[in-house]
Amino acid sequence: MIIAIDGPAGSGKSTIADELARRFGFTKLDTGAMYRTVAHVSASRGVDLDDEGAVGDVARALDIRFEKRPDRMHVLADGVDVTREIRTPATDRIVSKVSAYPSVREAMLGCQRAFAAGRDVVAEGRDIGTVVFPDAELKVFLTADPAERARRRVLQRHPEGAPDADALAREVEETLADLRRRDELDAQRACAPLRAADDAVRIDSTTHSIDEIVERIGALADARRDA
Ligand code: DC
Q: Which helix (H) or strand (E) segment is 180 a member of?
A: helix 165-188
Measured from the Cβ of residue 117, the count of other Cβ atoms closer than 10 Å reads 7
Q: Whose CA is nearest to atom 6 of ligand 1?
A: 32
Mean pLDDT of the region 103-118 = 97
**Comparing C-alpha atoms, which of 173, 207, 147, 203 is closest to residue 13?**
203
35 within ligand 1 shell (Cβ under 6 A): yes
- Residue to substitute in 2, 95, 96 for testing ligand 1 pocket (most ligand atoms within 8 angstroms of CB): 95
130 within ligand 1 shell (Cβ under 6 A): no
Q: Which residues pair with 66 in a beta bridge?
A: 75
**Comparing C-alpha atoms, which of 46, 153, 37 is closest to residue 98?**
37
How far, in Å, is the centroid of ligand 1 from the Cα of 167? 27
What domains does the chain contain, in order, with CATH numbers? 2-226 (3.40.50.300)
- Residue to substitute in 31, 75, 130, 156 for testing ligand 1 pocket (most ligand atoms within 8 angstroms of CB): 31
Give percent above pLDDT 90 in the chain: 78
pLDDT at residue 227 above 80? no
pLDDT tier for residue 202 given thresholds of 50, 70 and 90: very high
The model's pTM is 0.93
pLDDT tier for residue 153 given thresholds of 50, 70 and 90: confident
Do residues 35 and 226 touch, judged by C-beta distance below 8 A? no
- Burial of 38 from C-beta contacts in 10 A (0-12 / 13-18 / 19+): buried
Do residues 133 and 2 touch, judged by C-beta distance below 8 A? yes
Mean pLDDT of the region 1-28 = 94
Measured from the Cβ of residue 111, the count of other Cβ atoms closer than 10 Å reads 18
32 within ligand 1 shell (Cβ under 6 A): yes
Average pLDDT, the chain: 94
Encode 172-192: b = buried (16+ Cβ within 10 Å), e = exposed. beebbebbeebbebbeebeeb
Q: Whose CA is nearest to atom 20 of ligand 1?
A: 32
129 within ligand 1 shell (Cβ under 6 A): no
